[in-house]
Amino acid sequence: AQSVTQLDSQVPVFEEAPVELRCNYSSSVSVYLFWYVQYPNQGLQLLLKYLSGSTLVKGINGFEAEFNKSQTSFHLRKPSVHISDTAEYFCAVSPTRAAGNKLTFGGGTRVLVKP
Amino acid sequence: DAGVIQSPRHEVTEMGQEVTLRCKPISGHNSLFWYRQTMMRGLELLIYFNNNVPIDDSGMPEDRFSAKMPNASFSTLKIQPSEPRDSAVYFCASSLAGHPNTKYFGPGTRLLVL
């Protein structure tokens, strides 16, 4: 079984400041890793994913994440946030043998960008 | 493309009533997923289908829940009888077989069982 821990439930940040959202996972098998964003009253949208290769992954809207296998982490970063980045962010993992079909989500991190 | 379509967007019902949630996946997608989101348990996978066939329903909470996919463009999630603890947001997502890592989520159905 897999588990995902998002260490911060809420992160307030000022506009144009950097932000880092932390994600740690536990799994006895190899996994794919994902970050999703959920804007108010909307479904989830894929920000980025790590399947293999370079451990630094770039996604949409200027976000990037780094996979650290030794620390079982997949932290999400953005160097300069906008008001429109206010949303909830979910880290997720899926066993590679399940080919990404069985996502286990973290509890989410609410990002509030202040002017 | 219209994206994944879910209906209704909001549903309020009384305990004991039957509830049916509907989903239309993106045209051409042949994998469909049902998720539930609650404050207590977060996002959980309930069931997923490949080519209209249920592959894994281990996340379905109990026999009161059932899901069908009669054709490639339509799926239902039914709760009978409904209970207050079923109150949640239910999301449907779809993906192309061979590309399960890129799922497209619908806007969700917010269910309140009184």
The pLDDT of residue B101 is above 90:
no
Question: How are beta strands A10-14 and A109-114 bridged, if at all?
Answer: parallel
d(CA B5, CA A14): 35
Q: Which residues of B touch A87 (CB under 8 A)?
A: none
Query: What confidence tens digit (pLDDT) does each residue in A24-77 have?
Result: 999 988 889 999 999 988 889 999 999 888 999 999 999 999 999 999 999 999
Work out the mean pLDDT of chain B and round it to a whole number.
Answer: 92
- What burial letters (b/e) apply to B36-49, b meaning 16+ CB within 10 Å? bbeeeebbbbbbbb
- What burial letters (b/e) apply to A17-50, b meaning 16+ CB within 10 Å? eebebbbbbebeeebbbbbbbbeeeebbebbbbb
- Measured between CB atoms, which of B44, B55, B100 is closest to A100? B100
Q: Which residues of B touch A105 (CB under 8 A)?
A: 42-44
The pLDDT of residue B75 is above 70:
yes
Q: Note whether B56 and B75 are within 8 A (CB).
A: no
> What are the structure tokens assigned to B55, written together?
């592959």
The pLDDT of residue A99 is above 80:
no
d(CA B82, CA B65): 9
B100 to A99: CB separation less than 8 angstroms, yes or no = yes
- Measured between CB atoms, which of A34, A42, A108 is closest to B107? A42
Give the per-residue pLDDT at B103: 87
Query: What confidence tens digit (pLDDT) does each residue in B24-42 have?
Result: 999 999 899 999 999 888 8
Residue B10 β-bridge partners: B110
A107 to B45: CB separation less than 8 angstroms, yes or no = no
The pLDDT of residue B67 is above 90:
yes
Q: Which residues of A touch B44 (CB under 8 A)?
A: 105
The pLDDT of residue B111 is above 80:
yes
The pLDDT of residue A2 is above 90:
no
> What are the structure tokens assigned to B70, written together?
């009669």
CA distance B104 to chain A (A): 7
The pLDDT of residue B81 is above 70:
yes
How far, rounded to the nearest angstrom, does the alpha carbon of residue B96 sit from its chain's CA centroid?
Answer: 17
The pLDDT of residue B1 is above 90:
no
> What are the structure tokens assigned to B53, written together?
């066939």
Residue labelled with tokens 């509830």: B19
